[in-house]
Amino acid sequence: AAAVSRRRVLAATGIAGVAGLAAAGGAVARDAFAQDAAPAADAVAFRGAHQAGIVTAAQDRLHFAAFDVVTRDRDHLVALLRQWTAAAARMTAGQAAGGSGAVGGPAQAPPEDTGEALDLPPAQLTLTVGFGASLFRDAAGRDRFGIAAHLPPALAPLPHFPGDQLRPELSGGDLCVQACANDPQVAVHAIRNLARIGFGTVSLRWSQLGFGRTSATTRAQSTPRNLMGFKDGTANLRAEDGALLEEQLWVQPGDGPQWLAGGTYLVSRKIKMLVETWDRTSLAEQEAIFGRTKGSGAPLTGRDEFDRPDFAATGADGRPVIAPEAHVRLAHPDQHGGARMLRRGYHFVDGSDGLGRMDAGLFFLAFQRDPRRQFVPVQRALARSDVLNEYIRHVGSAVFACPPGVRDAGDHWGRTLFG
C-alpha cells in the first residue's frame, strides 16, 4: 500500500519514466485511495505524546542531519516547521513527501517528491526533530526568533573535555532531524526531501549516515555489536522501563521551560575509532578496556550478558577484576548518582583517509532528561581516565532539545515553543 501511495503522487505529476506506473493507472490509484487511511504494516506511528525514534525499537539505518536556519523571519521558520511536520507524517506512513512541489500544478515545476523511495515501504522510518541553543540566540547573544526567553538552561553548551578534537563543520546546528529506518534509501530520501522543502529557510550544516544500530532500546531486541566487536547497549535504558524513563529520559513539567515537557535532550558525538590499532590489541587487553568479555558480553566478574558487574571483586593478584579505568566502571550509574541515558548510536564508515586507514567509528547518540546531570559527568569521567581513549577520537559534537510529540493533525513540530 505504501509503495502504491508514493507512486500515485508521481503518476499524478506525470513524470516521464514512470509512464508505466501511470499507465497501470486507475486500478493502482483506486487501491491507493482505499488504503491510504490504513497504516502500512511496517510504519511507526508519527504522532504521540513523545516523538518517535527515541524509545522506538532501534532501526538498522540512520541519516542524521543538522541544519542552520538562514532566514531571519520567524514566520518563515514556523511555516517550514509546519511543512516539515506534514511531510514527516506522510513519509513515515510510506507516502510521498509533498511540500512545495508540483502535484496538480504545472508539469514544468519540480515534482513534490524526489522519487527514489517510490517503490519502498515505510521501513519503520521515524523522524525526530531537535532544536539547538543557537536557534535561540546567535553567537552575539541576540534573540533570533523571539524565543530566547525559552532557552532551557540544560541546553547549555557542553564543556570542553580532555582529548576533544572537535571540528566545527561536524558540530552544532540550529535544528536537527534524526531519520532512522530499516532501509538506508528510505532514511536518506526523508532527509533529502526535508532539505528540499527547506530550501531558502534552512541549509544543511552537516550530516551523518549510520548503519548497524549499536544499542537495543526494547527488551525484544538482541544486543548488537559495535565496530570493536563488543556487544553494545547491554545496560541501556529500554522502552519498557516505565517510571525509570520518566526519571531519566523525559523532561518533566517542573524541569524547565514548559514547552519541553514530554521532550528530551539529545547529545550527538561523532567518535572515530582507530580500528587498525584496535585490531592489533590482544583479546585480554580489549576485554580489560571494556570490563566485559567479547564473546558473551558478560562482565568480567560474571557469566551471562545481563549479570550485574561486581566492581568490588578482586582477582588472585588482589587487583580489581574490572579495572578502575575500565569503560563500564567509569560509565556505570553507581559512579554518577544513578544517571542513565538512552543510547541509540550507529556505526559509520566514511571511506578511508588516504593513508591506509578506515575512517570509521561510532556516531554516538544519547537521549536524556538533563545532559548536565547525565552525559556531562559520565563523559568527564571517561575523558579523564577511560583506557578506551587510546583507540578513539571525539571529532563532532552537538546538543539538541527534542520537543514532545506531535499530538494530532493540527499540531506541528515546534508548536509548544513558537505558539
Binding stretches for ligand HEM (CB under 6 A): 226, 228, 230-236, 269, 271, 273, 290, 292, 327-328, 331-333, 341, 362, 364, 375, 378-379, 382, 392
> Which three three-digit cell numbers place residue 74?
520567524
Between 33 and 306, name the residue whose CB sits nearer to ligand HEM: 306
As a whole number of angstroms, the distance between CA 195 and CA 364 comes to 23
The CA-based dihedral angle spanning residues 389, 394, 397, 403, taken in that order and rounded to the nearest 10 degrees: -50
The CA-based dihedral angle spanning residues 209, 206, 134, 191, taken in that order and rounded to the nearest 10 degrees: -60
**Cβ within 8 Å of residue 105, ≥6 positions away:** none
Between 175 and 341, name the residue whose CB sits nearer to ligand HEM: 341
As a whole number of angstroms, the distance between CA 94 and CA 123 comes to 8
Half-sphere exposure of 95 (CA within 13 A, CB side): 20
As a whole number of angstroms, the distance between CA 305 and CA 244 comes to 21
Between 135 and 235, name the residue whose CB sits nearer to ligand HEM: 235
Between 102 and 209, name the residue whose CB sits nearer to ligand HEM: 209
Between 99 and 291, name the residue whose CB sits nearer to ligand HEM: 291
**In the complex, what is the shortest distance from the CB of residue 269 to ligand HEM, in angstroms, rounded to a whole number?**
6
Between 118 and 331, name the residue whose CB sits nearer to ligand HEM: 331
Between 97 and 392, name the residue whose CB sits nearer to ligand HEM: 392
**In the complex, what is the shortest distance from the CB of residue 382 to ligand HEM, in angstroms, rounded to a whole number?**
5
* Helices and strands, counts by H and E, the chain: 11, 9
**In the complex, what is the shortest distance from the CB of residue 391 to ligand HEM, in angstroms, rounded to a whole number?**
8
Angle subtended at Cα 337 by Cα 334 and Cα 341, rounded to the nearest 5 degrees: 80
Which residue, 58, 26, 8, is CA-closest to 217?
58
| DSSP secondary structure string for all residues of 228-262 | TS-B--TT---GGGTHHHHHHTSPPTTSS-GGGTT
